[in-house]
Every structure is written in structure tokens, then in C-alpha cells.
């Protein structure tokens, strides 16, 4: 196993950040940690990267124990913290050189690994890191995290605050990196990114809700899900919330995602109810649950 | 070694790219030295003095003229009554006044003795003390002269028996306060800049998040610390050099002792300050916090360093506290070496304490520096 976590708990005073977390990440896997802000993702990353010591439980990274072999771990992992943490007043090249040096290597030695990413920012190599755009900063940070050819790569919310195009590019880079055999643990609050991982763990309030392949995780959704739309979205939402048979209702883009307490329902009954509430143009259609729906359901 | 060298290189790059910091590092100390050395003086000059002359005799006018002739006093005006003079002092327009009683001259000739009232504004106690000494000196010398006059007038065979003290001021024979202050202020600027910069430096990495990234790397604690602090050590030595050049060129401060010895001592002294800076860094989260704590210590260190007020006149407990004040050692040693020409054996007891301090301080700082949170 590249990462194996068993019964990890951590609290900050009264607040429990992680409670009894266990899961494994296979070598070469792209594993996603999906959860909202404050779910405990960063705490888990900090424990795995030896920055923080867990209250209970064991964890192994690249076959090293996080407590006893933290020195070996620091040599063999790459970590990209949530916020941009390179030297803004050093140039792109200087930053990369700096991290290469403190890992006891050089840019040339591992150029192959970062080439793909670095060529995109190389034209700006004499620009200060602080003057780069958000997407380029991410690429530089990733290059710096990769420069020593780590076995395991930790990416803590790498795409938060990055534009959609750069986000897409970033994930493509991760996919390519994965092919070189690096194990990647990535956290994100974006459910759409979850679908790009090999496996995901849904995490909330320091607890793992579910671990599975993204396409399998939606099977954990227990009910039939309906897309409902009408002329007045607000009224539609309020009406459904007050409906006695409603199991769950969430706004979802141009629709409202709705589940019913009854197992097999006739959608016409719901439509009639909504029309009674003064709504027109009511449309109800069955739909496939997404990871987000599953998450909302499991987090209930 | 390669790692340390690279970090040092990186630090220097960052220092010189920080356009806001550069003038603070190099221009402020110069201004500080020039302004403080000229302004921070113990000499009391331009004392505004008034008088009430109820006698209006040649003797009383003679006394007033004495004050007028002195460079320390500026005789403002003659008051009609003591009440008026007292009001003027209350209002702050005069620092002191002399009350010459009626029949001053007559009584002096008749009784050979007389009294003059001296009133001094003592809000600033030490200044009042100095003014008192000046006034007494003037009256005393006037006394001598008038005595001679009186002896001549009367058929005096009286002999005056007096012991006169003739002071010789060693090491600073013209009592030039700048000679005394410049080395001390040099200490200040070396200390302040190195403490502030080193204190803020590692905190800055915490603040911008780079420290977290670095802590995940296999870098050794001592590599990182040495790499980070060495540039400030160089900076401190550079500031000493700039300060010494200015002291020579602008103030012509004597440098009797061996400057090599001064540099050797400073190189140890800066280690104490850097250790302190690192220690502050370890216990703060933001540059602002670090700055506040550094200021707090600097103010105490300066006021208790013997730079402005002599340590000997502090209460016993305060004197014990000054043992923990690195600035005290440096102020003492720089004055000893520059003004007295003290050699290695003279400064050895103080230097060894500084060295011990450096070891303890850096030991604490390195110990409290943790790569995990």
C-alpha cells in the first residue's frame, strides 16, 4: 500500500477534526478526498506529511511510519499545501532551484518528470512567482512538489480558486503524472472533480462517509431521484419543502433534485400538488444521482 | 554546505529585492546615528533664568551679570516681586529664578555672610540637579571674588584656608558627550536592525506559508536556521562598519583600542541577538506579533543598558536584571575598547558572559524550533 491509514483521530481541544479514519491508497492510484470546508481534509494531509501528530491511530506513507520514519517520508513525498506557498519575491526558476537544492537534487536530474508541466511556465522563468496568474502559480507549485521525484504526491485543494479552464488542465496533468507511477492523494471540495479520480472517499465532520469508485459511489444513493422544474423556482422549492411526502429537496442548477418518502410514486401526484400551489409549467423527470447528490444524502 | 549556501543566497536575494526594507536597513541606522548622537545630550544649556533684585546694589547687579556672562544661562528678565517670578516659572517661561533680598550688599559687608534664594523647576529631576550645580558654581565663584574685595576693604589679615580640587577627566578629557554617546548609539543600531529583521524573518515564512512547504522537505533544522540567520549576521557586521566609519568621519570619535577585538566581540554579540530573534519567531504567528515583542525587549534593553542612565544608580534588583541585558555588555565593551583602549583581558569577563548568553539563547531557539506543529 502506498498510503495506509488506520483509526486516525485528531482533535484540537474540544473540536474533533478527525475521528477514527481508516483507508488505504494503492500504489499508482489517484485517490480523491471529497468533502466541504472544515471536513478535516487538511488535518489529514498534515498528519500524513508529518507536519502534525495524530492523537490516535497509525498511518504509513510509502511504507514508512509517519511517527518513526518521518525523515524518510519527507524525502519521498511531495506536498502542495492549500494556499500558494512559494516565494513570491523569487523568480519561477529560483523557486524551482530552491526546492531542488533542499531536496538534494537539481532541475536537470528530474527534468523529465516535470517537463510536461514546466514547459508551460518556462517562458516566464525570470518572472517573480508573485506576478504569475493563478493557473501558472499552480503549475509552478506542482513542479516544485515534483522536483525530487516523490513516490507519493499530496495535493491539498489544488484547484480551489482556479478558473475552470486551468482546473481542467490541472486534472489532465494529474492523469498524465499518474501514468508515471506516482501515487496521488488529492482533496477537493468540487464534486465534479471527484469523477476524475480512481477512487474517492467522502468525508464530513472528520468522518469517512463512503469510499468507492466514483461511478460506484452513486449506487449508494438509496432513492429514486427526480429533476423538477417550474416557472417559479423559489416557490417550487418552498412548496416541495413543505410537501408532506418530501424526503429530500435540493436546488441543482436549473432543476430541483427531489426524492420522495414513498417508494414508487406516480409523478403526476406531485405535479398536481405543485399546480395546486399555483405553479405552472411543472416538469418532472427521473434522473441519475450525481456524486453531489450522494454526498448530500450521506451527509444528512 | 550546498544547501546552506543556497539558502543564504536566497535570503540575500530576498533582502535586496524588498524595496521597502532596503532603506530601513541602510538609511535609518545612519539617520539614527547622526540625529541621536547630536540630540541625546546630557548637557543642559540655554537655561532660562529670571531674578528678583530687591537690593539694586552694585553687588546684586554683579551677581546677575555673572549669570549673564555664563554660556549656560540666559537671563530673561527682572521680576518686580517673587510672586511674579513664581508665576513665570509656573507658566514655564523660566527654568529657575534667583531671589536677591533687600540689603544684600549691606548685610554682606556687615555680617560677611548672606543668603540668596534659588528656585528651580524640578519637574525633570536630573536637569534640576544639574542646574543647581551650575548655579551654585556661579555663586561660589562670585563668593570668592567678593571675599577678596571684602578682605581688601576691611583691614583683613584673615587668611582663607581652602582645599581646592582640580579634576582631570580621563578617557574623555573635554567631557564631550558625543564621544560618550556615539559608541552607545552604534550598539543600538546594530542591535535593533538585526533583532527586528531576524525576528520577522522566519515568522514571515510562516505567514506566507512557505515554512509549511519547507517543513515537509528533508532539510535539516540547523541547515535551515544557519542559512536563514547568517545573512543577518553579515548585515550586523556591515552596520557596525558603516557606523564606525560615520563615527570617525562625522564625530571624530576616538578609536583607541583594537578594532579587530571589537569586531571579534561583535561577531559573538550578534549571535545572541539572532538567537533572540529566532526565539521570538518560534513563538509568534505573524510579523506583527514578532515586531511587538521585539520592541518590548528593545525598549527595556535600551533603557536598562547604561546607555542613557548609569546602571550604578539603578536600584539593586534592576542592576541584577541588567545582567540579562546583552546591550549592556556591548555598550560597556564598545566604550571600553574605543575610548579606553581596553584589551582582550579587560573585556574577557564580559565577553565570556556574552558567549555563554549566545550559547544559551541559540540553544533555546533551536530547541523550540519545531518542524511539526
What's B319-335 look like in SS3? HHHHHHCHHHHHHHHHH
Is residue B290 scored above 90 in pLDDT?
Answer: yes
Is the domain of B193 the same as that of B301?
Answer: yes
At B265, the pLDDT band (50, 70, 90 cuts) reads very high
CATH architecture of the domain covering A3-219? 3-Layer(aba) Sandwich (3.40)
Do B217 and A103 lie within an 8 Å CB cutoff? yes
| 3-class secondary-structure state, position A146 | helix
Cell representation of residue B88: 513665570
**pLDDT at B160 (0 to 100):** 56
Do A102 and B214 lie within an 8 Å CB cutoff? yes
Does residue B162 fall inside a structural domain? Answer: no
Do A104 and B218 lie within an 8 Å CB cutoff? yes
**pLDDT at A200 (0 to 100):** 92
Is residue B327 scored above 90 in pLDDT?
Answer: yes
Does residue B159 fall inside a structural domain? Answer: no
Does residue B30 fall inside a structural domain? Answer: yes
Interface test with A, best of B217, B219, B226 (most A CBs within 10 A): B217
**pLDDT at B92 (0 to 100):** 85
**pLDDT at B154 (0 to 100):** 54
Q: What is the pTM of this model?
A: 0.77
Is the domain of B127 the same as that of B194?
Answer: no
Answer with the one of B120, B153, B186 that is the final residue of a domain.
B153
**pLDDT at B158 (0 to 100):** 53
Percentage of chain B lying above the pLDDT 70 cut: 92
Nearest-by-CA chain A residue for B227:
A102
**Tens of pLDDT, residues A94-121:** 999 999 998 989 989 888 888 888 898 8
Do B209 and A51 lie within an 8 Å CB cutoff? no
Residue A204 CB coordination number (10 Å): 16
Over residues A8-17, mean pLDDT? 90
Q: Which residues contact A140 (CB under 8 A, 6 or more apart)?
A: A86, A92, A95, A96, A121, A129, A132
Do B217 and A102 lie within an 8 Å CB cutoff? yes
**pLDDT at A297 (0 to 100):** 82
CA A105 to chain centre: 30
Does residue B254 fall inside a structural domain? Answer: yes
Is residue A92 scored above 70 in pLDDT?
Answer: yes
Answer with the one of B85, B118, B153 that is the final residue of a domain.
B153
Domain that holds residue B258: 2-40+173-368
Kindly tell me the burial class for residue A14, based on how many C-beta atoms sit within 10 Å of its own C-beta (0-12, 13-18, 19 or more).
exposed
Does residue B111 fall inside a structural domain? Answer: yes
Q: Hey, is the C-beta of A107 within 8 angstroms of any chain B C-beta?
A: no
Is residue B43 scored above 80 in pLDDT?
Answer: no
At A2, the pLDDT band (50, 70, 90 cuts) reads confident
Nearest-by-CA chain A residue for B206:
A85
When CB atoms are compared, the residue of B17, B212, B217 closest to A89 is: B17
Q: Hey, is the C-beta of A71 within 8 angstroms of any chain B C-beta?
A: yes
Q: Hey, is the C-beta of A76 within 8 angstroms of any chain B C-beta?
A: no
Does residue B312 fall inside a structural domain? Answer: yes
Query: How many domains would you assign to chain B?
Result: 2
What is the number of CB-based contacts under 8 A between chain A and chain B?
68
Query: Do B269 and B276 contact (CB within 8 A), yes or no?
Result: no
**pLDDT at B161 (0 to 100):** 61
Does residue B296 fall inside a structural domain? Answer: yes
Is residue B147 scored above 80 in pLDDT?
Answer: no
Answer with the one of B153, B187, B204 that is the final residue of a domain.
B153
**pLDDT at B153 (0 to 100):** 56
Give dist(CA B308, CA B243) in Å, integer.
19
Percentage of chain B lying above the pLDDT 90 cut: 29
Is the domain of B216 the same as that of B270?
Answer: yes
Do B212 and A85 lie within an 8 Å CB cutoff? yes
Pick the CATH number of A221-289 from 3.30.70.100, 3.40.50.2000, 3.90.78.10, 3.90.1150.10: 3.30.70.100
At B128, the pLDDT band (50, 70, 90 cuts) reads confident
Instruction: Specify the range with the lowest mean pLDDT, choosing from B21-30, B92-101, B214-223, B341-350.
Output: B21-30
Is the domain of B213 the same as that of B135?
Answer: no
Is the domain of B148 the same as that of B224?
Answer: no
At B15, the pLDDT band (50, 70, 90 cuts) reads confident
Q: Hey, is the C-beta of A101 within 8 angstroms of any chain B C-beta?
A: yes
**pLDDT at B150 (0 to 100):** 63
Is residue A231 scored above 60 in pLDDT?
Answer: yes
The strand pairing partners of B97, in sequence order, are B50, B119
* Mean residue pLDDT across chain B: 86
Cell representation of residue B37: 548622537
At B174, the pLDDT band (50, 70, 90 cuts) reads low
**Tens of pLDDT, residues A135-165:** 888 889 999 999 999 999 999 998 888 888 8
Does residue B160 fall inside a structural domain? Answer: no
Q: Which residue has the cell 506529511?
A: A49
Nearest-by-CA chain A residue for B4:
A102
**Tens of pLDDT, residues B29-39:** 888 888 888 87
Do B217 and A101 lie within an 8 Å CB cutoff? no
Which residues from chain A sit within 8 angstroms of residue B218, using beta carbons?
71, 74-75, 102-104
Nearest-by-CA chain A residue for B16:
A89
Give dist(CA B90, CA B119) in Å, integer.
11
Do A90 and B10 lie within an 8 Å CB cutoff? yes
| Domain chopping of chain A, boundaries | 3-219, 221-289
Is residue B159 scored above 70 in pLDDT?
Answer: no
Alpha carbon separation from B127 to B36, B66, B123, B130, B136 (Å, rounded) = 19, 21, 8, 5, 14
Q: How far is B209 from chain A (nearest CA, A)?
A: 5
Give dist(CA B310, CA B303) in Å, integer.
10
Do B210 and A77 lie within an 8 Å CB cutoff? no
Is residue B168 scored above 80 in pLDDT?
Answer: no
Is residue B172 scored above 80 in pLDDT?
Answer: no
**pLDDT at B155 (0 to 100):** 52
Nearest-by-CA chain B residue for A81:
B213
Do B218 and A101 lie within an 8 Å CB cutoff? no
Amino acid at each position: 500500500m502506498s498510503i495506509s491509514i488506520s483509526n486516525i483521530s485528531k482533535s484540537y481541544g474540544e473540536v474533533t477534526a478527525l475521528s477514527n479514519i481508516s483507508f488505504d491508497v494503492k500504489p499508482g492510484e489517484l485517490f480523491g478526498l471529497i468533502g466541504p470546508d472544515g471536513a478535516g481534509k487538511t488535518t489529514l494531509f498534515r498528519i500524513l506529511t508529518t507536519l502534525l501528530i495524530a492523537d490516535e491511530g497509525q498511518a504509513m506513507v510509502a511504507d514508512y511510519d509517519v511517527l518513526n520514519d518521518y525523515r524518510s517520508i519527507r524525502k519521498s513525498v511531495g506536498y502542495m499545501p492549500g494556499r500558494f506557498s512559494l516565494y513570491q519575491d523569487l523568480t519561477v526558476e529560483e523557486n524551482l532551484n530552491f526546492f531542488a537544492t533542499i531536496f538534494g537534487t537539481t532541475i536537470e536530474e528530474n527534468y523529465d518528470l516535470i517537463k510536461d508541466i514546466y514547459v508551460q511556465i518556462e517562458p516566464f522563468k525570470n518572472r517573480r512567482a508573485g506576478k504569475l496568474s493563478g493557473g501558472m502559480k499552480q503549475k509552478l507549485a506542482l513542479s516544485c512538489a515534483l522536483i525530487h521525484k516523490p513516490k507519493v504526491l499530496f495535493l491539498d485543494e489544488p484547484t480551489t480558486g482556479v478558473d475552470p479552464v486551468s482546473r481542467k488542465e490541472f486534472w489532465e496533468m494529474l492523469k498524465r503524472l499518474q501514468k508515471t507511477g506516482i501515487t496521488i492523494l488529492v482533496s477537493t471540495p468540487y464534486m465534479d472533480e471527484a469523477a476524475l479520480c480512481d477512487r474517492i472517499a467522502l468525508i464530513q465532520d472528520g468522518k469517512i462517509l463512503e469510499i468507492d469508485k466514483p461511478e460506484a459511489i452513486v449506487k449508494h444513493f438509496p432513492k429514486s431521484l427526480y429533476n423538477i422544474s417550474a416557472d417559479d423556482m423559489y416557490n417550487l422549492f418552498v412548496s416541495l419543502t413543505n410537501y408532506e411526502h418530501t424526503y429530500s429537496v435540493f436546488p441543482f442548477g436549473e432543476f430541483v433534485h427531489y426524492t420522495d418518502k414513498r417508494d414508487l410514486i406516480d409523478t403526476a401526484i406531485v405535479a398536481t400538488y405543485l399546480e395546486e400551489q399555483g405553479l405552472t409549467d411543472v416538469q418532472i423527470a427521473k434522473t441519475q444521482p450525481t456524486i453531489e447528490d450522494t454526498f448530500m444524502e450521506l451527509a444528512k | 554546505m550546498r544547501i546552506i549556501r543556497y539558502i543564504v543566497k536566497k535570503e540575500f536575494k530576498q533582502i535586496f529585492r524588498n524595496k521597502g526594507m532596503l532603506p530601513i536597513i541602510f538609511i535609518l541606522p545612519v539617520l539614527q546615528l547622526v540625529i541621536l548622537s547630536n540630540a541625546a545630550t546630557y548637557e543642559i544649556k540655554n537655561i532660562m533664568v529670571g531674578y528678583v533684585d530687591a537690593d539694586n546694589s552694585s553687588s546684586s547687579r554683579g551677581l546677575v551679570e555673572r549669570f549673564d556672562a555664563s554660556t549656560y544661562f540666559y537671563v530673561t528678565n527682572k521680576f518686580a516681586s517673587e510672586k511674579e517670578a513664581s508665576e513665570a516659572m509656573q507658566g514655564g517661561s523660566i527654568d529657575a529664578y534667583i531671589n536677591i533680598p533687600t540689603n544684600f550688599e549691606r548685610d554682606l559687608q556687615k555680617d560677611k555672610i548672606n543668603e540668596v534664594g534659588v528656585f528651580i523647576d524640578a519637574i525633570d529631576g536630573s536637569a534640576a540637579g544639574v542646574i543647581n550645580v551650575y548655579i551654585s558654581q556661579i555663586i561660589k565663584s562670585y563668593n570668592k571674588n567678593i571675599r577678596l574685595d571684602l578682605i581688601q576693604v576691611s583691614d583683613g589679615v584673615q587668611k582663607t584656608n581652602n582645599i581646592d580640587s582640580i579634576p582631570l577627566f580621563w578617557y574623555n578629557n573635554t567631557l564631550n558627550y558625543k564621544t560618550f554617546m556615539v559608541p552607545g548609539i552604534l550598539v543600538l543600531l546594530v542591535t535593533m536592525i538585526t533583532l527586528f529583521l531576524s525576528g520577522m524573518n522566519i515568522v514571515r515564512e510562516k505567514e506566507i506559508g512557505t515554512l509549511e512547504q519547507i517543513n515537509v522537505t528533508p532539510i535539516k533544522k540547523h541547515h535551515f536556521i544557519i542559512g536563514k540567520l547568517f545573512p543577518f549576521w553579515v548585515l550586523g557586521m556591515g552596520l557596525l562598519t558603516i557606523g564606525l566609519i560615520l563615527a570617525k568621519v562625522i564625530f571624530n570619535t576616538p578609536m583607541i583600542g583594537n578594532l579587530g577585538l571589537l569586531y571579534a566581540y561583535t561577531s559573538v554579540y550578534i549571535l545572541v541577538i539572532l538567537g533572540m530573534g529566532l526565539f521570538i519567531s518560534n513563538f509568534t504567528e505573524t510579523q506583527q506579533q514578532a515586531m511587538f515583542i521585539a520592541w518590548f525587549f528593545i525598549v527595556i534593553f535600551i533603557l536598562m543598558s547604561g546607555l542613557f542612565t548609569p546602571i550604578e544608580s539603578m536600584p539593586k534588583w534592576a542592576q541584577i536584571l541588567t545582567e540579562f541585558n546583552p546591550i549592556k555588555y556591548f555598550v560597556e565593551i564598545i566604550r571600553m575598547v574605543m575610548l579606553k583602549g581596553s584589551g582582550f583581558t579587560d573585556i574577557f569577563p564580559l565577553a565570556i558572559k556574552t558567549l555563554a548568553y549566545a550559547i544559551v539563547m541559540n540553544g533555546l531557539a533551536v530547541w523550540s524550533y519545531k518542524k511539526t506543529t
